[in-house]
Amino acid sequence: MDRLFIPLVMLVVAGGSGIARAAEWPVKSAEEIAKAAATATPGDVLVMADGPWNDQRIVFRASGTAEKPITLRARTPGKVVLAGESSLVIEGQYGVVSGLYFKDGKGATDGIRVNGSHCRLTETAVVDGTYKFFVHLAGEQNRLDHCYVAGKTSESPTLQIEAERPNHHQVDHNHFGPRPPLGKNGGETIRVGYSQQSMNSSATVVEDNLFDRCDGEIEIISSKSCDNVYRRNTFLDCAGMMTLRHGNRCVVAENIFIAHHKKGSGGIRVIGEGHQVVNNYIDGVDKGGVWITSGIPDSPLNGYFRAKDCRIESNTIVDSKGPCIELDAGFGTSKRSLRPENIRVADNVLVVGGGGSLLKGTEGEGFKWEGNVAWSPQGAEVLKERDGIRVTDPKLARAADGLLRPGTDSPIRLPEAAKSMAPLTAKEVGPGWLSR
């Protein structure tokens, strides 16, 4: 064995059938990482030297196990700074990468691409630069967590997730920081799939993330595949909307939107079939709370499929400058002549904002309205009761965390899931080593 790759530290671990040894390998370049990874055994750790890593194109191929992953980490989290044309590809299985800082990276390729399976990227930051995608998830059952990703000014999504087959990726506890307006399509913060993949099941879970001033375009998250779950995320002052753009059977639940009337801000766009939009809190948006979207007859994959067989339930929408709910968004534009169909709108609390409206548009066939409560600061006289919507003051009070919740004298009761909701802060997400 080359003396360069003799392990610096041997870690002795007691195993159920005896003594297992894990090695710690010091590495100072992409070449050394490739060599050490080829030699490492499950449980080993590759430790990157602190300092600048310029123009290092790293390929980390792991051969770990669920119980003993192989880890590539910074000696000191945040002190391994990758710049210039540096990039990282994670391959193999059960590999963990932790504590890296990508800053001002250059090139038209990905900053970080995960091709493996059961791999994890954690406690890492990708800030500024010109990569096509700052992070790109392929492979299967990979996790992106406790990372900070921000400052993308070039076109293409900040995070791209492939959806060729069910991959069950997990994206959680990340801080997606400011992204300025791109001025055209392609400025999403997250895109899950593509138009041509949109009928594929991805089964990706995006949860407990903070989206902070993500203004790239109208689609903050663009869901372009099926069976994804988006829950417990906080969207703070974002000029855009959570968008179910293509695909079916997605869940949007327990998310919090706080916009302070920022221009271009909005709630949730619903396009496609079988979606569930439940227990979300939407406060002070500009473009409206929930858009239930019209579609094109025999729509191509890159067109608009009408919303159908969807549930819009137990959401709280307050102080929107646009409509609380738009019933046929886009009808009459882009060849959209099919109104939404078979939509259940139930148990929502809808408080009209100044200059806003309760509903907009015309519902299609099969709408069902049950148990909704509506109110306006101008009083009940500006609203019209209808079947399934009761006009009454919900008597909401601003809580310590900034959310409006029913007071003790309120006539409504929130579901248990909604009672525990609170907006995420930067201290709860992203790398622990990074000051924001």
Q: Is residue 390 within 8 Å of 374, Cβ to Cβ?
A: yes
Give the tens place of pLDDT for each residue, 326-370: 999 999 999 999 999 999 999 999 999 888 999 999 999 999 999
Residue 304 corresponds to which amino acid?
Y
* Residue matched to tokens 């949860």: 207
- β-pair type (281-283, 125-129): unpaired
- Segment 164-184 shows an average pLDDT of 97
Type and span of the H or E element at 316: strand 316-320
Domains of the chain in start order, with CATH, are 151-424 (2.160.20.10)
Question: What does the block give as tokens for 224?
Answer: 């372009």
Alpha-carbon distance of 105 to 98, in angstroms, equals 18
pTM: 0.94
Contact 242, 230 (CB under 8 A): yes
Between the alpha carbon of residue 322 and those of residues 264, 289, 355, the distances in Å are 11, 7, 8
**CB 98 within 8 Å of CB 123:** yes
Residue range 215-241, pLDDT digits in tens? 999 999 999 999 999 999 999 999 999
Q: How far is CA 209 from CA 41, 297, 340, 425, in A?
A: 33, 36, 30, 9
Q: Which tens digit of pLDDT belongs to each residue from 17-73?
A: 444 567 999 999 999 999 999 999 999 999 999 999 999 999 999 999 999 999 999
The C-alpha atoms of residue 380 and residue 300 are separated, in whole angstroms, by 43
